[in-house]
Amino acid sequence: MECNKTSFATLAFANWHIKKIKKKSKQDIIPTRAYKCGYCGAYHLTSKENFLEKNADLEQENLSLKARVKELEELNALLSNKESNKLVEQNTNLKLKKKELETALIKANKTNKELMQNLINANLKNVEIS
Ligand SMILES: [Zn+2]
């Protein structure tokens, strides 16, 4: 059976022709794909979308997006874990610093008490002398 549409012997040649048209044509509707004709066996061009193919493409895209989301979720969990480890470390450092300061404060209080005692003793001696 003969078709009125432009025929191409091979898919490669049909695709090459589409590329050429895309580059040069200023028409609104340009062919987007080639298909094998069920009547004449040759390849024709069409601008109609192949919804089955598009659906398969979208499903593939959906799968890779899901994989990407999972990847990002894992990364997020890892990061928040790291962040929380950092905070725990900072907290530990602060606790150590607090302990150091408390020890120094106790020491200072002790010294202060000793000095006060010395001062009291000296005053007492003063009173005794006078
Ligand atoms: Zn045909």
pLDDT at 116 over 80: yes
Q: What is the domain count for the chain?
A: 1
Q: Which amino acid appears at position 43 of this protein? A: Y
Does 75 reside within a domain?
A: no
pLDDT at 129 over 80: no
Q: What is the pLDDT of residues 26-45, one digit of tens each?
A: 888 889 899 999 999 999 99
Does 4 reside within a domain?
A: yes
Supply the pLDDT for residue 130.
Answer: 66
Does 6 reside within a domain?
A: yes
Which neighbouring-strand residues pair with 8?
A: 43
- CA 82 to ligand 1 centroid distance, Å: 63
Protein residues placing their CB within 5 Å of the ion ligand 1: 3, 37, 39-40
Does 103 reside within a domain?
A: no
Predicted TM-score of the model (pTM):
0.41
- CA 46 to ligand 1 centroid distance, Å: 12
Identify each DSSP E strand in the chain by its residue range: 33-36, 43-46
Does 38 reside within a domain?
A: yes
Q: What is the pLDDT of residues 53-101, one digit of tens each?
A: 778 888 888 999 999 999 999 999 888 888 888 999 999 999 999 999 9
- CA 36 to ligand 1 centroid distance, Å: 8
pLDDT at 2 over 80: no
SS3 content of the chain, % helix, strand, coil (to 5): 70, 5, 20
DSSP 90-123: HHHHHHHHHHHHHHHHHHHHHHHHHHHHHHHHHH
pLDDT at 1 over 70: no
- CA 31 to ligand 1 centroid distance, Å: 15
